[in-house]
Amino acid sequence: MVGTIAGMSVLITGGGSGIGEATARYFVAGGARVTICGRRAHKIDAVVADLGSACLGVVGDVTNHDDRERILSAAIQHGGDKLDLLVNNAANIYRGAIETLVEPELVDLFTTNVIAPMLLTGLASAALGVSKGCVVFLGSVHTQRAFPGVAAYAATKGAVESLTGVLAAELGPRGIRVGCVRPGAVLTEINERAGVATTETAADYLQRLASSHALGRVGTGSEVAEAIEYLALAQWTTGAVLTVDGGLGLGVTNIAPRANGEEGELYE
């Protein structure tokens, strides 16, 4: 890699929690000027209060055209009249069997996870072309390994990963690099809520998630941020989907001996 994130102007969507928040903290610590956006004002305000003047918070919805323009304008101004990196992180998820999905949920999911980042990238392309900057999308291990009950979410992330290659080819002649990070299970608010929504406690759910990774643990937002940093600085890398999943996508089944000496599956 060449260069440093110090002095970079960065826009992170969905920056009030989870991977977005962790990425904002990581880049601010590295000397970048970061703008985060999200729909929940209390979340955005809390992150900004903690990070100080290097981080600007904009409350807005990336699915709304006027909000996208307002967010982008604020990020460029905050970053010193430039934009070096756009991190398309904001996303939603619906879980449920295919027969339970309804059209409004699907429209909302594809609007948030696919259409909004496409349109925001288009808006940001002029500024990114000037800075010879980078766009990073957030994919998912769900595109690599099939898990029941998340068909709609997996489909949106498959679209995002396909989009990465197409936009790398389209924007490359303008000096704009495009990449995608494909995380495994990360310790975020969404994953904590998923356990509570079932008969499991959040702790039990997270432990079961951990056992499904080859490395035996879930990831952290800062570990995903490290991969985003790599794509932001790697000047001859574009169109890449970088898997950062602790081995979850390998489909490893952890085996432990039973009391009678036979082998039994802990998780599949």
**Cβ density class 137-166: b for 16+ within 10 Å, e for less:** bbbbbbbbeeeeebbbbbbbbbbbbebbee
DSSP result, 135-194: EEEE--GGGTS--TT-HHHHHHHHHHHHHHHHHHHHHGGGT-EEEEEEE--B--HHHHHH
Residue 153 annotated as catalytic = yes
The number of C-alpha atoms within 13 Å of 119 and in the hemisphere containing its C-beta is 17
| DSSP, res 15 | T
Those residues with Cβ within 8 angstroms of residue 177's Cβ, 6 or more apart along the chain or in another chain: 133, 134, 135, 168, 171, 231, 234, 235, 237, 238
- SS3 category, 241: strand
Cα–Cα dist 79/13, whole Å: 15
Which of 26, 94, 153, 205 is the catalytic position?
A: 153
Residues catalogued as catalytic: 153
